[in-house]
């Protein structure tokens, strides 16, 4: 669907399930994302992204490394459904641990943003994470996104006081 120098961002395939399940069971990958996932939760997540693609023409696409066809995780665009980003176009990513620190997330995110600007009539694209996820908000800053403290919120999936309750928001306005 989308090709970069090293990656293919594409729709989800049946063979993506097992490596995605492995990511969902990785304490490092899931540290800032709500905890380890069961097979049922992974299946539900894949069903959600497939439904998003069918309904909207975009989703959190599977990220495949061109060199060897390996599934690295996901990156793409979805419609935000929580707090101040409800209804906004949201960019998100999640890569397996052995793909971290190699620029894959940035490469996939740049391609996703370019696709969004070319194909969607959105005035801005947003991203959220928890304050403790420095890698994620660091990437948001390297992408040129701007922190918007006025859009920070308490995530309803986590109780007040839970370490994942507070979410911070970054925004990228549509380029001129």
Percentage of the chain exceeding pLDDT 70: 100
| Total domain count, the chain | 1
User: Which residues form the domain of 150?
Assistant: 2-173
Is the sign of the CA dihedral 76, 117, 78, 49 positive or negative? negative
Element (H, E) at 111: helix 104-119
pLDDT of 1 reads 87
- Strand-pairing partners, residue 168, are 129
pLDDT in tens, 115-159: 999 999 999 999 999 999 999 999 999 999 999 999 999 999 999
Structure tokens at 166: 């507070």
Query: φ and ψ at 9, to 5 degrees?
Result: -100, 125
Residue with tokens 């994302």: 33
- Does position 7 have pLDDT exceeding 90, yes or no? yes
User: Checking DSSP bridges between strand 146-147 and strand 166-173, what pairing results, if any?
Assistant: antiparallel
| CATH code of residue 133 | 3.40.630.30
Tell which residue, 94, 92, 98, 96, has the closest CA to residue 78.
92
- Does position 97 have pLDDT exceeding 90, yes or no? yes
- Does position 2 have pLDDT exceeding 90, yes or no? yes
Distance separating alpha carbons of residues 63 and 11, to the nearest angstrom: 9
pLDDT of 9 reads 98
């Amino acid at each position: 669907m989308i090709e970069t120098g090293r990656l293919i961002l594409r729709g989800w395939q049946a063979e993506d399930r097992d490596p995605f399940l492995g990511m969902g069971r990785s304490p490092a990958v899931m540290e800032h994302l709500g905890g380890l996932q069961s097979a049922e939760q992974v299946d539900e997540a894949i069903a959600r992204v497939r439904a998003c693609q069918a309904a909207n023409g975009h989703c959190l696409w599977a990220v495949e490394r061109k060199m060897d066809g390996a599934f690295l995780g996901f990156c793409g665009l979805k419609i935000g459904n929580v707090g101040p980003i409800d209804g906004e176009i949201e960019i998100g990513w999640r890569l397996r641990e052995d793909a971290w620190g190699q620029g894959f997330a940035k490469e996939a995110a740049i391609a996703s943003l370019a696709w969004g600007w070319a194909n969607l009539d959105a005035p801005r694209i947003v991203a959220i994470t928890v304050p403790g996820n420095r890698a994620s908000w660091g990437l948001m800053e390297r992408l040129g996104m701007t922190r918007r403290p006025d859009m920070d919120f308490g995530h309803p999936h986590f109780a007040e006081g839970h370490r994942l309750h507070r979410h911070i928001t970054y925004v990228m306005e549509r380029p001129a």
